[in-house]
A and B are shown apart, each in its own frame.
Chain A
Amino acid sequence: MSQLRNGQTSIFSQIDWVTIILYLIMVVCGAVSIYAACYDFDHANLFSFDEFSGKQMRWIALSLVIGLTLLLVETRIYETYAYVIYGAMMVLLFITPFVAPDIKGSHSWLVIGPMSLQPAELAKFATALAMARLFSGYNFQLNAKAGNYAKALALIFMPIVLILLQNETGSALVYMSLFFVLYREGMSGLVLFAALFSVVIFVVAIKFTESQILGLESGQFWILVLVMVITVGMSVIYGKRNIEIARNLLLWYLLCGLSMWGLSAFTEIIIPGRAAMLFAIGVACVYLGFESARMRLRKLLIPIATAVLAVGFLFTVEAAFGKLMPHQQLRIKVVLGIEEDLRGAGYNVNQSKIAIGSGGLLGKGFLEGTQTKLKYVPEQHTDFIFCTIGEEEGFWGAVGVELLFLAMILRIIQIAERQHTTFGRVYAYCVASYLIFHFCINIGMVIGLCPVIGIPLPFFSYGGSSLWGFTILLFILLRIDASRKSVLAY
């Protein structure tokens, strides 16, 4: 008994107060922003429970209770019951679409009395626990055998599939961020790179088709330029100090680029831009192949494979997309957020950009924002909350929020690396991955750099499920971290 009390008292001395303070700052700023976003001169009352901000205050209070409770739970419990929690949560996800009412076409909300909860948010911590448990298994090494990958991928894709069944694409995609964890635990960086690069190729090739450069669509042009940059970069990495390979490649590309620019700028010759760029890349590949054979550097084949696969993928996407009927193309573009959904409030992102842009350096001041209040920005208190901050608090406020997130993510990575157990480390990286994904996609969407994927900004957006989901994630992490010293023994 006395030991237990000791354990409890030590928890609050061992706890990572930096994270807690960051967390508190963020939720309070969030509630204030929600108040501003929904402020209406007709009836203004910060703590009225009818208002979103009032409700959010209630969610925050309950979150603190949950957080405190979680801190009192023995770490071993999380480890022991990780799979049970995961299994239970998957069952919950599975039954949700059958019992959930239809809310704007998605069946993801469980309505329990006056509350509605989104199990997809709560499944995040369960998946993180299960991943941590898997990796902390005896002598588990990701690269040891293919079966290990299969297990990890199964854990990741189970919630994705179940959430897609609820018609919540955004929440499902969040789990893809767990590939960061796989990377940290040994997966080849090339996989991460390939995944990111193919997403970039896909989106850019479909998105930028309006203007033309050198006779080919601007999207394609920039992807081909990117391929060139990547081959140069890779030849630096894989060329083992043979910097002249990269230099030669760079010179070759510059020569090609300059001559094409010169020809198109000063003569009437119409350059077949696509053929010319493919020729330039092709010659570079042949050169790399030659160097690879000469210097017996098999790794130099990687940039060749990258270039060939990227170009092949680009043209496959283009051909496949061109074969679709116009309305199907539109549908894909709407899903990707490239084209605005015409049934929606129209030009959402444009409105959101105007709202942020009109904030200027110092913002219009608290409650003075007009763009967000006049309901030109939809979902202003949920997914587009960053918009209100940008408008009312200006550049400093927006960058401040960015820095808060950056600080929290970096702090969590630091916590992850100081764990003595694989369980703790993997769990912490899961938390960091979710936050990275939400941060990148949500803010990227609001400032018009990412497709419109409807996911909330953690701690800021209105909504109990999201807040509780991240609170649980964070406080379990804090609990694990607080007891790290007591697990030195094993």
Chain B
Amino acid sequence: MRKDYNLEKRKYVICGFIILIALIYGVRLFNLQIADAKYKRSADSNAFLRKTIYPSRGLIYDRNGELVVFNQPAYDVMLIPRDVQEFDTVSFCNALNMTREELLKRLADMKDPRLNPGYSSYTPQRLVSHLSAQDYGRLQEKLYRFPGFFIQKRILRQYAGTSGANVLGNIREASQADIQADDYYAPGDYTGDLGIEKSYEKELRGIKGVEILIRDAHGRIQGRYEDGAHDIAPISGRDLTLSIDIKLQEYAESLMVGKRGAVVAIEPSTGEVLCLVSSPNYDPNLLVGRKRGENYRKLVNAPDWPLFDRAIMAGYPPGSTFKPTQGLIFLEEGIITDKTMYPCSRGYISGGLRVRCHPHGSPLPLLPALQTSCNAYFCYGFKAMIDKRSKYGNPSNAFEVWKNHLVSMGYGYKLGIDLPGERRGFIPNSAFYDKNYGATHWSANTIISVAIGQGEVLATPLQIANLCATIANRGYFYTPHVVKEIQDTVISEEYTQKRIPTINPEYFADVAQGMRMAVIGGTCGKANIPGIEVAGKTGTAQNPHGEDHSAFMGFAPFDNPKIAVCAYIENGGWGATYGVPTGALVMEKYLTGTIHPSRKYLEQFLLSSSVYYAPPKQKK
């Protein structure tokens, strides 16, 4: 083969290149390893201790600037197994108030890979968590005698009061799953659980800092590495301001003592939730510190489900509080006008079907129908709509139109409140009935009970309160939310955008008028607060769990609404018995700051009464 000697010379260039690089690297190694004294110093102090500095978690204020949740320090005893030398266990145990057996068991547990999968003898491991201040003080004095041990400061929560646990949530130690899902967490870190602690975890937690310390061969801290040049300062979490009025929350909770149910109040003009009560409730302080695990188990197993936030999770039959939506839909669809009258002969009678009603004038138009909560009126309207084949073709189409209006008013889907675990309630669609009855085998009479908020229809107390806020606004609402402000940033856009249902605003004015009449001369006379124009609607919901549920929704003042409320008391009987006074007192307290002497008896009644529960439901 012919060789090109001109090209062969190029091997010298390639060899030269690699020799040059090797030379440069050699010089660099010489500089690093021999010439530069900086690294020799590091050779003496041959290890670092990376200490995490935990940021302070964001504080939580109520809408009036009152501090609701704040931080308390807690101290964990940590050790780095490699650095631990023989130590005086008696003195150590005395400082920590534990027996030698306990200590040995803790050390064994720490090394057990099943209990502590992240164990390494080089990295900090936790021996004892949440030292009391006294234990901390005693140990701190003697700590120099126990090389390898140090104290890690952590942040726990503390609550100013005992109310609002369902909104506030709490913090718990991050689980293995949390740690895998998010790089932020290390074993032993805390993360939000339930309530806004969970939904605003990213805002509240802040950014961790690191302090790098140099240790000598005996593990003693010699100082900060390069004077802290590589340290990272922690950044505190953002403070939150709730839309909740904590005083109102406390008051509403006190009214609900002894009853199961929920109270939700919303400021209609903003969608801000003023109080969100779920009863029975629990003290948030139970879920702080060393007793958390035990208390949490107790709460989970409690028969009345205190951890279940009824305000946003429970699907209740809305009962008569649903009637305003029906009036709105019939008006919008042209089924009725405000003059249309329907008869009521102690109920709705069609074919063999009879839906009973209580005695009142007949026939009657929409507004008196709302005032007296006439079942027959809304059944006739519903039948007129669903069976109107001239307009919709068949009941399925009519029902879809009906359903879509309700969805636009916030029913059937999650409203999107900034709390975890919200449920969507239930509004059936025509496919649901097609499946149950067969495609052409159902009509208005088959499903007539949904017209009065019974049957398949379910709503959360939040959805009912939101409907009331929509009526108070005469035709729009904001997505309800419990956090009003976030430090140094703004709340999510979804809470500042108006949502407009598919109903003409003028019809809302009619329905609002009907609700006003219900207070003045109708079913909710107890809501008539002196000096304030209140509008309201009762609800008495039949249910399979015993006595009827007692419900009320109302807003006030009539012309410039400041509060819209829903009170829902399980098995409370008539709407007027528990629902109306609870809702009315919450409105009165919020608007006037006090309760009028003529109405103190209502307050007394609620504070002293309890509803005997129906037999406890089986857990799903």
List residues of A whose CB falls within 8 A of some B CB: 40-42, 180, 183-186, 189, 343, 346-347, 350, 353-354, 356-361, 364, 370-371, 373-376, 390, 394-395, 398-399, 402-403, 405-406, 409-410, 413, 416-417, 420-422, 432, 436, 439-440, 443-444, 447, 449
Contacts and interface: CB of A to CB of B under 8 A. Distances in A.
B10 A183 contact: yes
B10 A184 contact: yes
B143 interface: no
A442 to B, nearest CB: 11
22 contacts: A40-B121, A41-B121, A183-B14, A184-B10, A184-B14, A343-B183, A346-B230, A347-B230, A354-B42, A358-B40, A358-B42, A364-B43, A370-B46, A371-B46, A395-B30, A395-B33, A402-B26, A410-B15, A417-B11, A420-B1, A444-B25, A447-B28
Interface string B16-51: 011101101110111011101011101100111000
Contacts of A41: 82, 121
A370 B82 contact: no
Given A185-B7, A354-B39, A436-B18, A360 B33 contact: yes
Q: Which 8 A-B pairs have the closest CB atoms?
A: A357-B39, A358-B43, A370-B46, A395-B33, A357-B32, A406-B22, A354-B42, A358-B42
A447 B121 contact: no
A357 B36 CA distance: 8
Which of B11, B19, B26, B29 counts the most chain A CB atoms within 10 A? B29
Given A42-B121, A184-B7, A422-B1, A402 B25 contact: yes
Contacts of A364: 43
Nearest to B50: A376
Contacts of B30: 395
B232 to A, nearest CB: 8
Contacts of B19: 406
B535 to A, nearest CB: 52
A360 B21 contact: no
Given A374-B122, A417-B11, A449 B28 contact: yes
Contacts of B14: 180, 183-184, 413, 432, 436
B13 interface: yes
Nearest to B119: A42
Contacts of B8: 417
B13 A361 contact: no
A204 B365 CA distance: 84
A421 B32 contact: no
A410 B16 CA distance: 10
Contact of A440 (B21, B38, B40, B48): B21
Nearest to A435: B18
Nearest to B17: A436
A447 B28 CA distance: 8
Interface string B224-243: 00000010000000000000
Nearest to A143: B7
B440 to A, nearest CB: 49
Nearest to B43: A358
A413 B47 contact: no
Interface of B: 1, 4, 7-8, 10-11, 13-15, 17-19, 21-22, 24-26, 28-30, 32-34, 36, 38-40, 42-43, 46-48, 82, 121-123, 183, 230
Contact of B39 (A42, A358, A416, A444): A358
Contacts of A356: 29, 32-33, 39
Given A189-B13, A402-B25, A406-B19, A360 B183 contact: no
Contacts of B47: 370-371, 374
Nearest to A373: B122
Task: Please classify the interface of chain A as helix (H, G, I), strand (E, B), loop, or mixed, using the class held by over half of its residues.
Answer: helix
Contacts of B15: 410, 413
Contacts of A443: 25
B40 A360 contact: yes
Contacts of A394: 33
Given A180-B14, A364-B43, A406-B22, 6 more contacts: A189-B10, A189-B13, A390-B33, A398-B29, A406-B19, A440-B18
A444 B26 CA distance: 11
A266 to B, nearest CB: 32
B122 A449 contact: no
A189 B46 CA distance: 47
B18 A357 contact: no
B45 to A, nearest CB: 10
Contacts of B24: 449
B3 to A, nearest CB: 9
Given A186-B7, A447-B25, A449-B25, A376 B18 contact: no
Nearest to A403: B22
B22 to A, nearest CB: 5
Given A358-B42, A406-B19, A421 B1 contact: yes
A416 B123 CA distance: 50
A421 B572 CA distance: 99
A69 B484 CA distance: 73
Contacts of A421: 1
Given A186-B7, A395-B30, A360 B122 contact: no
Given A346-B230, A449-B24, A399 B34 contact: no
Contact of A375 (B22, B39, B122, B183): B122
Nearest to B37: A357
B38 to A, nearest CB: 7
Contacts of A449: 24-25, 28
A432 B13 CA distance: 14
B34 A395 contact: yes
Given A41-B121, A354-B42, A402-B22, A395 B183 contact: no
Contacts of B11: 184, 413, 416-417
Most chain A CB inside 10 Å of its own CB: which residue of B14, B17, B33, B39: B33
A420 to B, nearest CB: 6
A147 to B, nearest CB: 20
B1 A357 contact: no
A420 B29 CA distance: 39
A353 B32 contact: yes
B10 A406 contact: no
A477 B122 CA distance: 45
Contacts of A185: 7
Nearest to A405: B22
Most buried by A among B36, B42, B46: B46
B2 to A, nearest CB: 10
Most chain B beta carbons < 10 A, residue from A189, A417, A440: A440
A433 B42 CA distance: 37
A364 B26 CA distance: 19
A395 B29 contact: yes
Contacts of A395: 29-30, 33-34
Nearest to A342: B232
B48 A376 contact: yes
A416 B15 CA distance: 12
A159 to B, nearest CB: 22
A42 B111 CA distance: 11
Contacts of B17: 436
B26 to A, nearest CB: 6
Contacts of A350: 230
Nearest to B4: A186
A232 B256 CA distance: 92
Nearest to B6: A186
A416 B7 CA distance: 13
A138 B38 CA distance: 60
A373 B230 CA distance: 20
Question: Which of B22, B121, B230 counts the most chain A CB atoms within 10 A?
Answer: B22
B7 A398 contact: no
Nearest to B12: A413
A20 B516 CA distance: 98
A373 B32 CA distance: 20
A42 B18 CA distance: 42
B450 to A, nearest CB: 48
Which of B14, B17, B47 has the most C-beta atoms of chain A within 10 angstroms of its own C-beta?
A: B14
A13 B541 CA distance: 99
